[in-house]
Structure 1
Amino acid sequence: MAYSDRELLARLIQCEAGGEGEIGMKAVAGVVMNRVNATGGEYARVGQGSIRNIIFQPYQFVCASETENGVYNPQNIYNMRPEQIHYDIADWAIAGNRIPEVADSLWFYNPFGPTCRSRFPSDVGYWQTRIGDHCFYNPTDAYYKT
C-alpha cells in the first residue's frame, strides 16, 4: 500500500529535520509545501500540486532516496518511524501554515559549517535565513525561467 501524502511529509520532516526542533521541522515542511504550491518554474511543472511528486523529484531530498552514489542510504523515508509531532507538523503545513522566517523559500541545505552562502547554487535563490543547521533560500527571478 502506498503512503499517503501526509505520511510521506511526516517521514520527510523526521528524516530531514528531526534533530532541528519544532521550528526547524516546520521550516522544512514549509519548503516542501512552498514547492507544492509554486506558481511558476520547475516546481510548478513537476509538482502540479502534489506532495508525492515534490518529495520524489530526483535529486531533491537525500531522504527520499534509498541509495546515494550507488551506496545504500539507511536514513531514508522508508526507515523512518514518525511520531505524533511529525504528523502534527505535516498537518500544520498542509493546512497552509508557514513560519515567517521561511517566507517563500524553495530550498534548504546544511552547509556543515557556520555560514550560509548568499546565493543558492545556479543563482536561482538568495539567502533568506538560517534555522538550526539549515540555510533557507527564496527564489530569484532566474528560478522562474527554469
Structure 2
Amino acid sequence: MALAIVLAFASPVSLASQMHTVRQGDTLYKISQAYGVSVSSIKQVNGLTSDVIYPGQTLVIPTSGGSQGGSAYTVRSGDTLYLIAQRHGVSVSALKSANGLSSDVIYVGQTLVIPSSNGGGQNGGQSSVHTVRSGESLYKIAQTYGVSVASLKQANNLKSDDIYPGQKLTIPKKESPGSAPSQSDRDLLARLVQAEAGAEPYTGKVAVAATVLNRVRSSAYPNTIPGVIYQVIDGKYYQYEPVLNGTINRPAGSEALKATDAALGGWDPSLGAIGFYNPAKTTNQWVRSRPVTVRIGNHVFFK
C-alpha cells in the first residue's frame, strides 16, 4: 500500500467523530439513520460531493453534542502517521487510537479522524491502571502507553522488570510531546539509517532507527538524536562508522525516511536493542558478548 509526505488539508469538524466502514448495501441515508445524523453532515465531514459510496470505504461519522474540535483528514501520497501527527500537533498514539488503528499502515484516500490537540493523549493527562496479561513485558506495556520503562517502574515501585499476569500497574501520565524530534533530527536519523542499513529489509531499517531512539531514552547515553549519533568516546571511539567515514552526509532515500517515521511513531522491531552489528564485518568482542534481542537481515541487535 502507498504510504504518504505531501501536504493536505483537514476539513474542520466541530463535532466529536467516529469511524464507519461501508458494508455491502449501505447508503449514506441508511448510515445517517443508523447514527442519528444528517446525510449532509456526513458528506461535509468526508468531503463528498455526491451520494456515491463503496464497500470498504471508511467514513467519518460526526456525533451530535460533542465539542472535541477534531477534524477529518484524507491521506495523500507521501503521508505517514508520524508526519500527519506532527502536522496537526497530536501524538501518533492518539491518532491511532482515534482511528482504531493497530499498525502504522495507511493508504492514499483513507480518511482519518484528527483528534483535538488538547485532548491529552491516551492517558487523558492522568494516570490509569493496566492489568498485566499473559505474555506481556514492561517494555511492551510502556510502548503501548507511550511512556518509558523507567517511569513505569518508578510509578509502581518496581525494583526489577519482573511482572505477572493479573498484576495491576499504574500507568503514569504520558510524557510531554514537547520533546518531539525536529525535522533536522528526523533527517539526521534517516541519513544514518540509509548509511547503516541501505541494503537491509524495511523492518531492519526501522530497527536501526529504533536503536538510536532507545539510546536517547537511556540514561547511559546522550538524550538527543544528534547527541547519540555524533557521540565519540575518549575522543576516538565513534559510535557509528558513517559518522567517521562521512557517509552520514549522504541524503536518505524514501524508504529510510519512511522507516525513520515508523520508529518515531513507536514501532521497535529491535525489541529494545541499543545497538547492532554485522557478524561478517565486526571483530568487536564487546558487542558480540552482548545479549541478542533479534536478528534481522544481516544485522544482529543487542542490549
**Helix, strand or coil for the counterpart of 2:196?**
helix
- Partner residue of 1:141? none
Q: Is the 8 A contact 2:271 2:294 kept in 1?
A: no
Task: Using the aligned pairs only, state the percent identity.
Answer: 36
Q: Is the 8 A contact 2:277 2:287 kept in 1?
A: no
Structure 1 pair 112/85, CA: closer, same or farther in 2 (3 Å)? same
The one of 129, 138, 142 equivalent to 2:294 is 129
Answering whether residue 174 of structure 2 is matched by residue 6 of structure 1, we say: no
Task: Indicate the structure (1 or 2) with the bigger Cα radius of gyration.
Answer: 2
Measured in 1, the distance between the counterparts of 2:293 and 2:198 equals 21
- Partner residue of 1:96? 266
- Partner residue of 1:69? none
Q: What stretches of structure 1 move > 6 A for 4+ residues in a row? A: none
The one of 41, 54, 58 equivalent to 2:228 is 54
Answering whether residue 248 of structure 2 is matched by residue 83 of structure 1, we say: no
Measured in 1, the distance between the counterparts of 2:216 and 2:275 equals 12
Deviation at 1:124, TM superposition (A): 7.4
Measured in 2, the distance between the counterparts of 1:21 and 1:136 equals 14
- Partner residue of 2:164? none
Bigger proportion of residues as helix: 1
Deviation at 1:123, TM superposition (A): 8.4
Answering whether residue 280 of structure 2 is matched by residue 109 of structure 1, we say: no
Structure 1 stretch displaced more, 85-94 or 29-38: 85-94
Deviation at 1:97, TM superposition (A): 1.9
Measured in 2, the distance between the counterparts of 1:109 and 1:122 equals 8
* Superposed CA offset, 1:53-98 (max 9, x none): 0000111100112xxxxxxx35x111x2212221111122122221
**Helix, strand or coil for the counterpart of 2:239?**
coil
Measured in 1, the distance between the counterparts of 2:256 and 2:226 equals 17
Greater relative CO (CA pairs within 8 A, separation 6+): 1
Structure 1 unmatched ranges of 5 or more:
66-72, 139-146
Measured in 1, the distance between the counterparts of 2:272 and 2:187 equals 23
Structure 1 pair 125/18, CA: closer, same or farther in 2 (3 Å)? same
Amino acid at match of 1:109: Y
**Helix, strand or coil for the counterpart of 2:291?**
strand
The alignment of Structure 1 onto Structure 2 pairs a total of residues equal to: 115
Measured in 2, the distance between the counterparts of 1:84 and 1:31 equals 20
Deviation at 1:37, TM superposition (A): 1.2
Measured in 2, the distance between the counterparts of 1:135 and 1:123 equals 9
